[in-house]
Structure 1
Amino acid sequence: MTDAVGSTISNPLRVLVTGGTGTLGEAVIQAFAKAGHRTFFQFCRNDQNATRLTDTLGATGFKIDFSADFTLPMSDFDVLVNCAGINISREQAHGVDPLIWDKMMRVNVTAPFLLSQAVLPGMLKRGWGRIINVGSIYSLRGAINRAPYVASKHALSGLTKVMALEYANTGVTCNEICPSAIDSDMIHRIAENNARARGMSVDDILDEYRTMNPVGRMATAGEVASAVLYLAGSEAGFINGASIPVDGGQIV
């Protein structure tokens, strides 16, 4: 199998998705698996979901904690989807615990960098590869009480652009998907914490997230996964270094 410039592409693709047991990660795994590709995934805690993904989709899971030193059991992948991310601080900048800052940077930025380093040699040898980073609308704008998260997403966006330029003539592309709030387990956990802090109901907080978007709802994980799947295809070979909002027009 070859693409438009004649580089060799494995068929099916070998795909690594991080954060695979999260709502979005699972949707991405499902999209690739249903398209017939060999899917592997990283997870940190949810053994039950990991087992289910293996049993139902034939995906192979690696239990790795990105907040600590780690090694990747294998590195020969055609597609890397850096989907894992954490958002565990709601303090103003002066009140952010430096340990929380470090943990968020390790998971949200350092892990994608190290994983990219691991998979790039094989991609470059084959002359084809896709690195797809899952950022956020906060890769493109600021927000109060989210200094570590916004800073980490801006850093991931910068890393995306640097790698896109460095490998632009190799057949390897690097892009970033920037979704707004996704109807996911993570957003529900954030809503629960926000509700406690503000003395509101979780439903009211979730309604705020919905009404912030001009579409009047949150994104579905499947909608974001479809964008990831497209960027992994040969037809997206001329998209490189892009930060693509999947946000219903929220930051237009």
Structure 2
Amino acid sequence: MSDAVRRDAPNPLHVFVTGGTGTLGEAIVIAFAKAGHHTSFQYVRNDDAAGRLASDWGADGFKLDFSGDFRPPDVDVDVLVNCAGINISEAQAHVVVPSVWDEMFRINVTVPFLLAQAMLPGMLRRGWGRIINVGSVYSLRAATHRAPYVASKHALTGLTRALALEYATVGVTCNEICPSAIDSEMINRIAHERADLRGTSVDSVLDEYRTMNPFGRMATAGEVASAALYLASPEASFINGASIPVDGGQILR
């Protein structure tokens, strides 16, 4: 290893968060900004939330759509948090259309790879970097009616481990956070869709998410954001290639 490789973390860090105006992404942006780090984020359409993050926390927003001909932004960062993700199908596997499969793999796996590929050269020059992927409990287990989501999150786990192994000797780590259901806009959208399909109430669907967890509730965005902040800290310097459940023990059931 070259003597030019630096093991000390830059201070402050430059952090880039995808999905920065979603419930979890916004919490991650705020957590890093609150800790004094220069934080940038990607978003697609929520200009109001992006404006708040800029005015309240000094975060820089990049309005980028990951669908179609996506090109990574020209930013040189120390920490990449791949938080953007989608779950757009709860159909049985035999009726999932190929375009849904392709779109979920693109957003959940291909985009994190492309962003890591674009931002790794700067990390390698500095001899320090952190890639943090947001997976799911379904990165570690299976479920019915979610084949594209489960498969794409398992693929993200594979990417996490491959990058962790490949760059461990040059000061860059890669880890994955695997939360259970988060009290978020996404979960509420899914709950409305399930309620419509079943002819039941949204509250009954949300109660299912709560009761399947040993804590009897969903995770908060702040609890998951704290894990991301920790993985970028000096205290986490020897954690690499890990898939860390933030799930209240739900994976044990």
Fold similarity call, TM over 0.5: yes
Cα deviation for residue 163 of structure 1 reads 0.4
Q: How does 1:79-118 map to 2 (within 5 A)?
A: 79-118=79-118
Partner of 1:126: 126
Supply the RMSD in Å over aligned alpha carbons.
1.0
Q: Deviations over 1:132-176 (max 9, x none)?
A: 000000000011111111111000000000000001111100000
Cα deviation for residue 9 of structure 1 reads 2.8
Structure 1 unmatched runs, 5+: none
Q: How does 1:1-20 map to 2 (within 5 A)?
A: 7-20=7-20
Cα deviation for residue 181 of structure 1 reads 0.3
Partner of 2:200: 200
Q: Tell me, yes or no, if the aligned pair for 1:17 and 1:81 is still in contact at 8 Å.
A: yes
Partner of 2:27: 27
| Structure 1 SS opposite 2:12 | coil
Query: C-alpha separation between the residues in 2 aligned to 1:194 and 1:7?
Result: 48
Q: Tell me, yes or no, if the aligned pair for 2:24 and 2:222 is still in contact at 8 Å.
A: yes
Query: C-alpha separation between the residues in 1 aligned to 2:73 and 2:108?
Result: 20
Query: C-alpha separation between the residues in 1 aligned to 2:157 and 2:75?
Result: 23
Cα deviation for residue 75 of structure 1 reads 2.9
The normalised TM-score by structure 1 is 0.96
| Structure 2 SS opposite 1:130 | strand
| Structure 1 SS opposite 2:182 | coil
Query: C-alpha separation between the residues in 2 aligned to 1:138 and 1:102?
Result: 18
Q: How does 1:37-116 map to 2 (within 5 A)?
A: 37-116=37-116
Cα deviation for residue 52 of structure 1 reads 1.4
Cα deviation for residue 6 of structure 1 reads 5.2
Query: C-alpha separation between the residues in 2 aligned to 1:115 and 1:86?
Result: 17
Q: After superposing the two structures, state which structure 1 stretch, 146-155 or 69-78, moved more.
A: 69-78
Q: Which amino acid aligns with 2:26?
A: E
Q: How does 1:172-187 map to 2 (within 5 A)?
A: 172-187=172-187
Q: Which amino acid aligns with 1:60?
A: D
| Structure 2 SS opposite 1:132 | strand
The normalised TM-score by structure 2 is 0.96
Q: Which amino acid aligns with 1:199?
A: G
Query: C-alpha separation between the residues in 2 aligned to 1:39 and 1:240?
Result: 23
| Structure 1 SS opposite 2:178 | strand
| Structure 2 SS opposite 1:251 | helix
Cα deviation for residue 49 of structure 1 reads 1.1
Query: C-alpha separation between the residues in 2 aligned to 1:130 and 1:70?
Result: 23
Query: C-alpha separation between the residues in 2 aligned to 1:247 and 1:57?
Result: 28
Q: Tell me, yes or no, if the aligned pair for 1:8 and 1:126 is still in contact at 8 Å.
A: no
Q: Tell me, yes or no, if the aligned pair for 2:9 and 2:234 is still in contact at 8 Å.
A: no
Query: C-alpha separation between the residues in 2 aligned to 1:214 and 1:198?
Result: 25
Cα deviation for residue 11 of structure 1 reads 1.3
Partner of 1:148: 148
Structure 2 unmatched runs, 5+: none
Q: Tell me, yes or no, if the aligned pair for 2:6 and 2:128 is still in contact at 8 Å.
A: no
Identity of aligned residues (%): 73
Partner of 1:137: 137
Query: C-alpha separation between the residues in 1 aligned to 2:84 and 2:6?
Result: 32
Q: Deviations over 1:19-61 (max 9, x none)?
A: 0000000000010000000000000121111111111111111
Q: Deviations over 1:187-229 (max 9, x none)?
A: 0000000111111100010011000001000000000000000
